Homo-oligomer: A and B are copies of this chain.
Amino acid sequence: MPSLLSDADDRRRRCWVCYSYDGDEPMAEWVRPCRCRGDTKWVHQHCVQRWVDEKQRGNTALTVSCNACNAEYLIFYPPKDTLLYLMERVDQMVMHICPFFAGIVLVGSVYWTAVTYGAVSVMQVLGHSDGLRFMERMDPMMLLVGLPCIPLVLVAAKMVRWEEALVRLVRTYGPKLFRLRSRPAPRQSLQQQQQQPVQPPPQPPPVEFGLAAHPVSVSRVLCGALALPTVSTVVGKLLFRRVSSSLQRTLLGCFAFVVLKGLTKLIYHQKKWLFVTDRRVLNHPDGTDEDT
């Protein structure tokens, strides 16, 4: 196929994609899609098409620019027929709507689990048959709103960290005896004891000690909150067997459990605090007392 360019001109153009020259593929169409000059000016039409494919990844609405000179490629597209246009719009619409629907599925799933948990809790607290009767008598709309609120309220209540407020209170205003006590002397060398004859009383750690160690463990709050109805039922049955009303028994069990747990936590944190009050950092054995 004769070219209008001379042989000398032929060798001048070189494709920046496939590195072949003008004469190598006589049938190939050349294009200069951007403002670049020199080695990156010319490119084969079919080579730059591959490059555009790579950039657009099927989305022909995307513009493609030269990486070097930033000039936007001028791309000619044939007119779209109505069917293709409609199909593209539907495809885009579906792409946009799907995450929204997936979100609804997720929220619905959480909601449904909360409703079920609420219903099971009502039956646990009121007793199986009484609970069923109670829910049957209630307005269905009230049930659909009220039941999922049960786990929500439990989790919210669990987030109120009243035990820690109590621990702070005891540490700040509690009896001195409970806050400080004599501590066993740590083993120290004779030399050190001579050097530091005055042993000041141990200072208690700050009131907040240990309370912010596990700020809010999501799993612990969740498990504690969701287990409360079951635990309350069990404690109620163990401690208040004589109470005939299931609701009263479970509420008493709940109260007893919460108070017991709060006190245990108070004692635990206080014991840890006192333990740390008696902690002492010792001199390193490698060092000497003389400063260098």
Contacts and interface: CB of A to CB of B under 8 A. Distances in A.
B212 A98 contact: no
Given A75-B282, A197-B4, A213-B58, A271 B83 contact: yes
A292 B37 contact: yes
Nearest to A195: B4
Give the copy number.
2
B53 A98 contact: no
A91 B282 CA distance: 28
Nearest to A109: B113
A286 interface: yes
Nearest to A37: B292
Contact of A27 (B58, B200, B218): B200
A94 B220 contact: yes
Interface string A24-35: 001111111111
A71 B287 CA distance: 11
Interface stretch (A129-137, A139-147, A182-190, A233-241): A182-190
Given A76-B280, A200-B29, A214 B95 contact: yes
A220 B206 CA distance: 54
Given A31-B281, A78-B275, A281-B31, A291 B12 contact: yes
Contacts of A80: 275
Contacts of A214: 58, 95
A150 interface: no
A76 B32 contact: no
A283 interface: yes
A264 B282 CA distance: 79
Contacts of A71: 284, 286
Given A42-B291, A101-B219, A281 B49 contact: yes
A84 interface: yes
Interface in A18-72: 26-35, 37-38, 41-42, 45-46, 48-50, 52-53, 57-60, 71
17 contacts: A12-B291, A32-B289, A33-B283, A33-B284, A34-B284, A38-B291, A41-B292, A53-B276, A58-B209, A58-B212, A73-B282, A75-B279, A76-B282, A77-B279, A78-B184, A102-B219, A112-B113
Given A52-B281, A76-B279, 13 more contacts: A5-B195, A28-B200, A33-B282, A33-B284, A34-B287, A38-B292, A45-B200, A75-B280, A77-B279, A87-B267, A87-B271, A98-B220, A113-B113
